[in-house]
Amino acid sequence: MKDRGYLGVDVGSISANIVAADERGEVVALTYRRVEGDPIRSLQESLKDIARDLPAGFSVEGVCATGSGRMLTGSILGADIVKNEISAHARATLHLHPDARTIFEIGGQDSKMTVIREGVVVDFAMNLVCAAGTGSFLDSQAKRLNITIEELSERAVRSRNPTGIAGRCTVFAESDMIHKQQTGHAQDDILMGLCLAMVRNFLSNVCSGKEIREPIVLQGGISANRGIRRAFREILSAELIIPRYNMVMGAYGAALIAARAGLARTRFRGYEICERDITTRSFPCGDCPNRCEVIEIVDGRDLIGRSGGRCRKWEGNTDPR
């Protein structure tokens, strides 16, 4: 008898993640890969990785796509379900930690807070404009200091006297950091100051007006950073839960959504799409004054999907213009 399971795929601005889960929701295989400016190629390479790691004869019974690139991903894969990141992250969190009340999810380019009460999402907030409350804030400062983000993580927790950094804006933070270097502050203290600045920015902007209750779950790429974990603990005076699959919770939640959807038959296009020449093109929709840019996804000569537009009339539409 073949192993049956489901794929959850999360493609964002920084990473492409795939989780394969069985019918009970147990993870069978997972992959995490940097997008590096080419989401289509990263998705294809991630699919190759997951296919290699799956048990022989594993049968995909359903696919769910999530993340900021979910419409592109859904068309390429032939996803059965397309869900936003809030739903996917909440599903994974509640599966692993049913008593969770607050989720902090911080990625490379955006950050989110989700409020959960009695196992139900009741509120959320997102930061999609400023980088100061996201992982890219630390990435840019690490590059400025000529160290890796991993080194920043390890050195920040060694700080005994964290430096105060103006973290409301990435540009101001860099200027302030340079000033603190010039006045003789130890680099470990500056690094921990950057972590504290990023967390304060996240809490004051994304979480403003929201009630933060424990248990608090921290996930997303930034959750691997020890300095950020320390900053949250010190500022909130609370312990945070780092879930087992903290780096791929969106993909895991998407796999769980697919597993519980009761799909009769999957639309999954198969692993051979890894070798296909898939490209995108665009055109302006002239049906109203907005003139939205519509993105078309093309596999060879075949139009396999569209996305874009405020009214969503083009979502998934492959009819000739």
Give the number of other CB atoms < 10 A from CB of residue 281.
10
Range scoring the smallest mean pLDDT among 10-19, 109-118, 121-130, 283-292: 121-130
pLDDT at 1 over 50: no
pLDDT at 77 over 90: yes
What tokens does 321 get? 């213009």
90 residue type, one letter? A
Q: Strand 293-299 vs strand 302-307: parallel, antiparallel, or unpaired?
A: antiparallel
% of residues, the chain, pLDDT over 70? 96
pTM of the model: 0.91
Query: Helix axis angle, 135-144 relative to 149-156, nearest 10°?
Result: 90
Mean pLDDT of 136-152: 85
DSSP 229-270: HHHHHHHHTS-EE--TTTTSHHHHHHHHHHHTS--SS-----
User: What is d(CA 247, CA 223) in angstroms, rounded to the nearest whole number?
Assistant: 8
pLDDT at 133 over 80: no
Mean pLDDT of 227-253: 96
pLDDT at 132 over 80: no
Range scoring the smallest mean pLDDT among 151-155, 239-243, 317-321: 317-321
Determine the distance from the C-alpha atom of residue 8 to the mean position of all C-alpha atoms in its chain, rounded to a whole number: 12
Is the CB of residue 65 less than 8 Å from the CB of residue 77? Answer: yes
* pLDDT tens digit sequence for 154-196: 999 999 999 998 766 666 777 888 888 889 899 999 999 999 9
- Strands (E) in 73-184, as ranges, are 81-82, 102-106, 111-117, 120-127
Q: Which of 121, 107, 318 is nearest to 220 (CA)?
A: 107
pLDDT at position 279 = 95
pLDDT at 64 over 90: yes
pLDDT at position 68 = 87
Higher-confidence residue of 109 and 102: namely 102
Q: Which of 133, 88, 102 is nearest to 257 (CA)?
A: 88
What tokens does 67 get? 């993340």
Average pLDDT, the chain: 91
User: What is d(CA 166, CA 178) in angstroms, rounded to the nearest whole number?
Assistant: 11
pLDDT at 204 over 60: yes
The single residue listed with the structure tokens 């069985």 is 22
Close Cβ partners of 24 (under 8 Å, ≥ 6 residues apart):
none
314 confidence band (pLDDT: 50, 70, 90) = confident
- Domains of the chain (ranges; CATH) run 4-96+251-275 (3.30.420.40), 102-242 (3.30.420.40), 277-321 (no CATH)
Higher-confidence residue of 137 and 291: namely 291
Mean pLDDT of 225-242: 96
